[in-house]
Structure 1
Amino acid sequence: MPMVTLAELMAKAEEGKYAVGAFNCNNMEIVQAIIMAAEAERAPVVIQASQGAIKYAGLDYIVALARLAGDKTSVPVALHLDHGTSFEQCVQCISSGFTSVMIDGSKHALEDNIALTNRVLSVARAVGVSVEAELGKIGGTEDDIHVDEKDALFTDPEEARYFVDKTGVDALAVAIGTAHGQYKGRPELDFDRLAKIEQLVDVPLVLHGSSGVPDEDIRRAIEIGVRKVNIDTNLREAFTEGVREVISQKPNEIDPRKILGPAKERMSEIIREKIRLFGSSNKA
C-alpha cells in the first residue's frame, strides 16, 4: 500500500490509545526485518532514518528500500527523518519522498526552535508531509548529535504548551529522562512531568531513547499519552548478536547471506516484541 503520513498513524494511535513503533534503519536487512515484523503482527510501523543512516546508505537507497517495502506490504508504513537538524535537510528528505520529518531544534533557544520548526512546517504542510519537533534535550548520542547528561534538560510543560500553540506540529518529542544509546543503569522517568505535558498539549507525544527502558515504564508512558516510541539501540544489539553468533560458530563462513540472515531474524523478533508491548498488534 502507498506510504502514509505520521499524522495518519498518530490519529489512529490516539483513538486506540496505543503507540506506534518507530524503528531506525541503516540497510536492507533492517528494513526487511521491520516489515517482516509489522506484517506478522499486522501492525502500523514507522521506518525512520537518521543523519547517520542517510550518510551511510545514501538518501536514494534509503527511500528506495523503504518505498519498496511499503508498496509490497498491506500494513501502513510511514518513512520518517529522525533528528533532522536543518531546514535544508528536511526539505531534501521531503523532496525525496519521506512522508514525515523531524526537525530537532532543541539545541536552540525556544523562540529560535519555534521559528525553525515553522519554517519546516511551511514546506511540509504544502505537500502533505508530517512534522515532529523536539522540546527539551534528550541525553546520550544519536549519530553525530551528542548531549552530555549534565546538559540534558527535561521538557518544561508550560513551554511545551506555548511551543505547540505557536507551531501546531503533528507530534512532539519530549525529554523526561530517557537517553539515546545503551543505559548504564535503570532510567528514572519523570511520569508526573509527562502527565502534565499531556494535559497541556493536544498533539501526540514521542518517546525517544526507549531501548533499555523497562517494559512497565513503556506501558505507563503509553497509558499517559505517548503515541510514538523510538527504538534503535535494541536493533543494533540484536543485529550484532546475530552476526557474532554465526561468526563464532562458523569462523570460516564467508557467505553474507548466512551471516546476515540470522541477524535479520533476530531483529524481527525484537521488533515483534516491541510492537506487542506498544499495543499496536492487529491495528493495521
Structure 2
Amino acid sequence: MHMNSSAPHLLAEDRPEFERVLDEALRTAHERPELTAVGQRLNTTQLRTMALNATALIAAAAAAEYDHYVKVREDVRTPAARTGSVLAMGDASETAGAGVAAVVAVLTPILAGTAAAIFLIVGYLLTMLTPEPEFARALLTAGWIFAALTAAGILVAAGGLLLTALRNGSTAFSDGRGGERSREVEQAGAAWRHALLERGVVPFLREALATPGTEPAGPAPRRPAGRIPDLGYSRPDYSSPGPEGGTAPGPRPSYSSPDFSSPDFGGPDHKPE
C-alpha cells in the first residue's frame, strides 16, 4: 500500500466513526468503478477485516484533517469545562447570599411602604386635633422617612432586575459563540471523514482487490463422497489377471513361496533324488 505509515493512532472515541466510514464505503462499493471487483475474490467481510487490521495505515492518509479535528474539538471542550467549574463555584458561593438578598429586596419596599402609610395617616389625623399632640410631628417625620426607604427599596429592586437582564444577555451571547464553535467542530469532523474515505479507505480497498495472489481464506474444496484421500502414495494393484489377450497382470512379488510338495514314492527301485 502506498501510504504514509506515520499516522497518529485514532482516539478510542473516533474508532466507531472510522468503522462507519469503512462500512459505508463497502456498502456503496458497487457505485465506484474501482471497487466493482468486491465479492469476486474478496468479499466485504474479508475486506473489512483487512481494513480494520490496517487502521493506522489507512488513517495516515487523513492525518492532517484528523489533527485539525481533534484540536478544534479540544479547544471547544476546554473552555466549556473551565466555565462550568467557575459557574459551579460561583453558584455555590452565591446561593446563600442570593436567598437573603431576594428576601430583603422584596420585603423592604413592602414593609417600609406600609409603615410610611400608617405613620403619615396617623400623624395627619393628630394634627387636626386641638390642641395638637406633641408627637404628631414625630409621626409625620417617621412616615416620611419610611416613604424614602420605600422609594430606595424600589430603586434597588429595579437595579437588580437590570443586572439580571444584562447577565442573561451575556449568557445568550456566550451560547451563540458556543454554537459557532460547535459548527466549526462539525465541519472539521466532516472534512476528516471525507479525506479518510477518499484518500484512505477507498485506495486501500482498491489496492487490496488489485494485488495479485490475494486469495480469500475460504474452506478447502470438498472431495467426492467415497473417494480415498490422497496421502502421497498410491494404492497397490490388486487386479486379477485378465483373459488371454487382455490386460497383462501386474508384476509378481520378488520372492516365491517354499516348495512343500510331497516326496515321490514311485516304487522300490526308484530312489529319491
Same-fold status (TM-score > 0.5): no
Q: TM (normalized to structure 2)? A: 0.18
With a CA cutoff of 8 Å and minimum separation of 6, indicate the structure with the bigger relative contact order.
2
Q: Higher strand proportion, which one?
A: 1
Bigger radius of gyration: 2
